[in-house]
Structure 1
Amino acid sequence: MDLIALVDRIGEAPTAALFGLLTGIVFGIAAQRSRFCLRAAAVEFARGRMEDKVAVWLLTFSTAVVWVQAAQMFGLIDTSEARMMAVPGSWSGAIIGGLTFGAGMVLARGCSGRLLVLAATGNLRSVVSGLIFAVVAQMSLTGWLAPIRDSLAAMWITEGGRNMELLTTLRLPDGSGLVFGLATALLALELSRRNRIGFSRLVFASGVGFAVALGWALTYALSQVAFDPVQIESATFTGPSANTLMFFLDRSSILEFDIGLVPGVVVGSFLAAFVAGELKFQGFEGPTPMRNAMIGAALMGFGGMLAGGCAIGAGVTGGSIFAGTAWLALFCMWIGGMTMDWVMGGRGQPAAV
Structure 2
Amino acid sequence: MDVTLLLEYLDEGRLAALFGLVTGLTFGVAAQRSSFCLRAATVEFARGQLGPRMAVWLLTFSAALILVQGAEMLGLFDSGEARMMAVTGSWSGAIIGGLLFGAGMVLARGCSGRLLVLAATGNLRSLVSGLVFAVVAQMSLFGLLAPLRQWLAGLWVTPGGQNVDLLASLSLPPWSGLALGGVTAVIALRIARQNSLGWANLLFAPIIGFAIALGWVLTYSLAQVSFEPQTVTSATFSGPSANTLMFFLEDSSVLGFDVGLVPGVFIGAFLSSLVGRQFQFQGFEGESQMRRSLTGAALMGFGAMLAGGCAIGAGVTGGSIFVATAWLALTAMWVGAVVTDALVDQRVIRQAGVAAQ
- Same fold per TM (> 0.5)? yes
Which residue type is aligned with residue 216 of structure 1? W
Partner of 2:11: 11
Paired with 2:265 and 2:167, the residues of 1 have a C-alpha distance of 31
TM-score with structure 2 length normalisation? 0.96
What secondary structure, in the 3-state scheme, does the structure 2 residue paired with 1:157 have? coil
Paired with 1:216 and 1:292, the residues of 2 have a C-alpha distance of 35
What secondary structure, in the 3-state scheme, does the structure 1 residue paired with 2:159 have? coil
Paired with 2:247 and 2:74, the residues of 1 have a C-alpha distance of 37
Question: Is 1:130–2:144 an aligned residue pair?
Answer: no
**Deviation at 1:346?**
2.2
Partner of 2:200: 200
Paired with 2:138 and 2:201, the residues of 1 have a C-alpha distance of 34
**1:224-264 deviations in Å (ceiling 9; x for gaps):** 11111111000000000000000000000000000000000
Paired with 1:170 and 1:139, the residues of 2 have a C-alpha distance of 36
In the alignment, is the contact (CA less than 8 A) between 1:47 and 1:347 conserved in 2? no
Question: Is 1:335–2:335 an aligned residue pair?
Answer: yes
Partner of 1:85: 85
Partner of 2:42: 42
TM-score with structure 1 length normalisation? 0.98
Partner of 1:31: 31
Partner of 2:69: 69
**Deviation at 1:76?**
1.4
Paired with 2:345 and 2:261, the residues of 1 have a C-alpha distance of 36
Question: Alpha carbon RMSD of aligned pairs, Å?
Answer: 1.0
Question: Is 1:115–2:115 an aligned residue pair?
Answer: yes
Paired with 1:310 and 1:162, the residues of 2 have a C-alpha distance of 19
Paired with 1:32 and 1:297, the residues of 2 have a C-alpha distance of 20
**Deviation at 1:132?**
0.2
**What does residue range 93-108 of structure 1 map to in structure 2 within 5 Å?**
93-108=93-108
Partner of 2:57: 57
**1:60-103 deviations in Å (ceiling 9; x for gaps):** 00100000001111211111011100111000000000000000
In the alignment, is the contact (CA less than 8 A) between 1:137 and 1:238 conserved in 2? yes
**1:97-138 deviations in Å (ceiling 9; x for gaps):** 000000000000000000000000100000110000000000
**Deviation at 1:217?**
0.6
**1:151-172 deviations in Å (ceiling 9; x for gaps):** 0000000011110000000001
Partner of 2:177: 177
Partner of 1:285: 285
Deviates more, 1:159-168 or 1:197-206: 197-206
Which residue type is aligned with residue 102 of structure 1? G
What secondary structure, in the 3-state scheme, does the structure 2 residue paired with 1:29 have? helix
Partner of 2:355: none
Paired with 2:125 and 2:217, the residues of 1 have a C-alpha distance of 34
Which runs of 5 or more residues in structure 1 are unaligned? none
Paired with 2:299 and 2:69, the residues of 1 have a C-alpha distance of 32
**Deviation at 1:348?**
8.6
Deviant stretches of 4+, over 4 Å: none
Paired with 1:22 and 1:347, the residues of 2 have a C-alpha distance of 42
Partner of 1:144: 144
**Deviation at 1:290?**
0.6
**1:283-333 deviations in Å (ceiling 9; x for gaps):** 011111110000000000000000000000000000000000000000000
Partner of 1:306: 306
Cα gap change, 1:142/1:348 in structure 2, threshold over 3 Å: closer, same or farther?
closer
What secondary structure, in the 3-state scheme, does the structure 2 residue paired with 1:344 have? helix
Partner of 2:153: 153
Question: Is 1:245–2:251 an aligned residue pair?
Answer: no
In the alignment, is the contact (CA less than 8 A) between 1:140 and 1:301 conserved in 2? yes
How many residues end up aligned between the 2 structures?
A: 349
Paired with 2:345 and 2:40, the residues of 1 have a C-alpha distance of 15
**Deviation at 1:173?**
1.7
Paired with 1:170 and 1:90, the residues of 2 have a C-alpha distance of 19
Paired with 1:215 and 1:348, the residues of 2 have a C-alpha distance of 41
Partner of 1:214: 214
Which runs of 5 or more residues in structure 2 are unaligned? 350-357
Paired with 1:347 and 1:334, the residues of 2 have a C-alpha distance of 18
**1:182-214 deviations in Å (ceiling 9; x for gaps):** 000000000001100022211100011110000
Deviates more, 1:198-207 or 1:80-89: 198-207
Cα gap change, 1:229/1:97 in structure 2, threshold over 3 Å: closer, same or farther?
same
**Deviation at 1:347?**
6.4
Paired with 2:202 and 2:230, the residues of 1 have a C-alpha distance of 33
Paired with 1:114 and 1:36, the residues of 2 have a C-alpha distance of 7
Paired with 2:290 and 2:174, the residues of 1 have a C-alpha distance of 49
Paired with 1:289 and 1:97, the residues of 2 have a C-alpha distance of 23
What secondary structure, in the 3-state scheme, does the structure 1 residue paired with 2:173 have? coil
